[in-house]
Amino acid sequence: MDKSKIVVCDHIHEAGLDMLRHDDEIDFVFAADIDKTELLNVIADADVAITRSSTDVDARFIAAAKKMKAIVRAGVGVDNVDIEGCSKEGIIVMNVPTANTIAAVELTMTHMLSCMRMFPYSHDHLKNQRIWKREQWYGHELKGKKLGIIGFGNIGSRVGVRAKAFEMDVLAYDPYIPSSKATDLGVAYTKNFDEILSCDLITIHTPKNSETLNMIDRDEIARMKDGVVLINCARGGLYNEEALYDGLKSGKIRFAGIDVFVKEPATDNPLLDLDNICVSPHLGANTFESQYNIGTEAAKQAIEAAKGIAYPHAFNLPIDESSIPPFVKPFLEMAQKIGFLSVQMNRAPLVSIKVSGQGDIAEYVTSIATFVTVGAMASTSSDTINYVNADFIAQEKGIKIETEVLPNTAAYKNLITIRVTTEKESISISGTIFNDSVQRIVDINGFAIDVAPQGNIILFKNTDIPGVIGKVGTILANHHVNIADFRLGRNNRSQALAVIMVDNSVTEATLRELAALDACISVDYARI
């Protein structure tokens, strides 16, 4: 029997390499120390590759990997992997999402303590400058301080437990979890982001996506209490670095502990010039224990993938296009986008997802429901969500998934309707595909509309009275937000829904001003 070839492109723990070496069905190649151009020749006949941050899985890599079945990213982040490019070639992309959880948690606590006691600076004063000046290093205690945790998943929740042990007052913000997940741990829970901004210390533990990029910017920093301490051991870019720099420079932010940066290596980052910041070079996973876990888990996943046993933590299980009609695939893609859109309109713990189909597409509502679930849960769950495990994780979380076949209507040849219900409310969105695979949302909560599910979208619901559109346009202009498209729907209850496509991202300040209009019923913002 031919052996499957697994190439290790970057360094992983020796225990993982031993697992590969000692599997009789695996042809193991260690290529971590060779030139990346030469690596392209090595992977030409490989079945599976294990990579880390040193190897970019880009167009050149994918083109060279002619036999590749799967890629295991040994770690959490997949920023250096072209997932879409892999999908087009049928390459499954997997990661190892939980192996470094404790390492990241403990590094967060390290930065918190370092910031409060200015430990790196006092250490340098004595160790390197040989100055003994105790009176210069009066710090602050964690006890009695209020810690705001943004993102209460695997890492954030464990930070909360440890902060409680330091007798801190802990407050969690995560609109995508049940409040009981925090309160069961003795941690307070809030849906009001301003309450987080009023904390003494703030630490962030969210994935990096369109919703969380620059989540803490100038406006949020301005609303924080003077002398706040900020921690980021998650992903670079969650805090806007220019705003962070100015806040530290002015003293609004007393201290910051930063492990991750927008551009890495960050050796020339302006933040390094400040004397009220503790930094580390992306060490979240840098413990011997986490490296062992990452290495062995990555090796296990690579072996399973090479043998066709399983694809754990797969981001993109490819679709067998030969088994479905061509018209179905655009519906699958649109369904995932609608699922993602619906949770941005309805930020609260998921309760149920219902997918209805009319026309020929109704035959495929079960597959469509999986794609909706991936979209709805991808940015709201601490778990890694993929097409393989979406239904299982939804079931585990008590989220009900339903499908329904409806009689066809004369209006559209094929139509899908997705109803996402959270603890807050239900959102219903219908979509169809026109000629040339043109995706269109045609109904939102009973408002007839015609809009593409893409870009920066403001959804403004209001009482249907004169002058509203002009006021909305004026507010957006004052905030330098350019309108690319404006679609309006009305119902029979004297209400209107404006779906406004804009060229640039929208700040919380802009949304608050829109919400303050007398005619406003609700305002939501989504980025697809």
Catalytic residues: 235, 264, 282
- Cis ω on the peptide bond leading into residue 265 (within 30° of 0)? yes
Q: What angle do CA 325, 373, 187 make, to 5 degrees?
A: 170
> 3-state DSSP call for residue 15?
helix
What one-character-per-residue DSSP string does 73-130 give?
A: ESSS--TTB-HHHHHHTT-EEEE--STTHHHHHHHHHHHHHHHHHTHHHHHHHHHTT-
Instruction: Please name the helix (run of DSSP H) or strand (run of DSSP E) that holds residue 43, with its range, or none.
Output: none
Beta bridge partners of 448: 443
Which helix (DSSP H) or strand (DSSP E) does residue 450 occupy?
A: strand 447-451
* Cα torsion angle, 454, 457, 463, 465, sign: negative
Tokens of 510: 């802009």
456-463 vs 520-527, strand pairing mode: antiparallel
The residue among 451, 512, 454 whose CA lies nearest residue 478 is: 512
The Cβ of residue 283 has, within 10 Å, a number of other Cβ atoms equal to: 15
Q: Show the tokens assigned to 110.
A: 């390290």
Torsions phi, psi of 50, nearest 5? -110, 125
Q: Are 97 and 313 in contact (CB under 8 A)?
A: yes
